[in-house]
Each structure stands twice: as C-alpha cells, then as structure tokens.
Amino acid sequence: MKKVLFGLGAIVFAVIFYLSYTEFAYSPLEDKDFKKLFKQNVDADKLCSIDFLGFNAKGELFEIYKYGVSEIEIEIDSALPNIQVWENKEITSNTIVGKWKTCPLDTLSTQLYEFTLTANDFDKWDCSNTFNKELKDPKNYYCYIHLNELEQYFLLYNPKEETFYYLRRKGF
C-alpha cells in the first residue's frame, strides 16, 4: 500500500511540476514572430510575464509579457509589421494592423486599446511597473494587431532599455 501511495504521490508531483514549468516557460512569441516585427534578427528572451486571470494552463485570455531584446540597435521600420497570420489567425480586411509609431498613442490607438491598457493597474506588478511610463516616452515605439474587440495584441518597444512588451487580450 505504501508503494502505491508513494507512486501516486510521485505522479501528482510530476504533473504539478510539469504544469508549473510549462506555465512559467511559455512564451507566445518565437523568432519567426520577431522577424515579422523588425528588419533585423532579434534575439529576445522572456524576462517575465503576468497572467491577469491567474494560473490557467494555456487558456490565456489577458496577459503581458516582457522581453529583453538583443544588444544590437534595432532599426524601426514604419512599414512593419508586415503580417498575414498572427497567433494562428488569418489577417483579414477587417483586421487593423497599426504599424510602428512613436509614443505616446495617437487618437485611434487610444480608442482601440482604452480597455486593454486601463483594465489592470500595470504599476503594481514588478513585471510591468514601467509600462505606463514607457508608453508616454516619445523615444519608444508601439504597434498593434486588432483582430476584433475581443482579440487584440499590443506591442511596445523601448530601445534605450532594450525591452519589449507584448500585451495579449483574447477574450472578455
């Protein structure tokens, strides 16, 4: 009986460890995605992330990811991003793709992302506590992919700090 309980305990521990590891190691952006966003090859490492709805084993609905980007100077091209598919979704004529622009947000971007950018207090989290400040800095850049009211992606790049934020909203 002890062996059975020990075996079940080991299996439960292994499953919990696996789910925890995949949750913390997960990154929605891969090298191919960064190639759609920038002219150069960008080496990006996920620094942290926040799932605003809590642990949910890849049922993400609203989260922010912060990346450290390569130490090369990234040239911003206002013709990018140039995408046909984003996160396995076809870009249609109804999709609004905002090309790279300097911060702060213009009127259209503010209207499209008002809820997404204000629904959570980014300042209270270590991972995103500089997000709002960086969003106002005219030396930073932003772009977005707006599939519809429920599925939106917002990207913010800070060349000075070599950081990149990726805000995903896929629901509610």
The pTM is what? 0.82
Q: Considering its fold, how many domains does the chain have in total?
A: 1
- pLDDT tens figures, 104-154: 999 989 988 988 888 788 888 889 999 999 999 999 999 999 988 888 999
Sequence-distant (≥ 6) Cβ neighbours of residue 6 within 8 angstroms: none
pLDDT of residue 68: 92
Does residue 92 belong to any structural domain of this protein? Answer: yes
Does residue 5 belong to any structural domain of this protein? Answer: no
- pLDDT tens figures, 33-60: 888 888 888 888 899 988 876 555 555 5
Q: For the chain, how long is the longest CA-to-CA vector? A: 67
Does residue 9 belong to any structural domain of this protein? Answer: no
Does residue 23 belong to any structural domain of this protein? Answer: no
Does residue 1 belong to any structural domain of this protein? Answer: no
**Range of 41's domain?**
28-170
Name the 3-class secondary structure at 31. Answer: helix
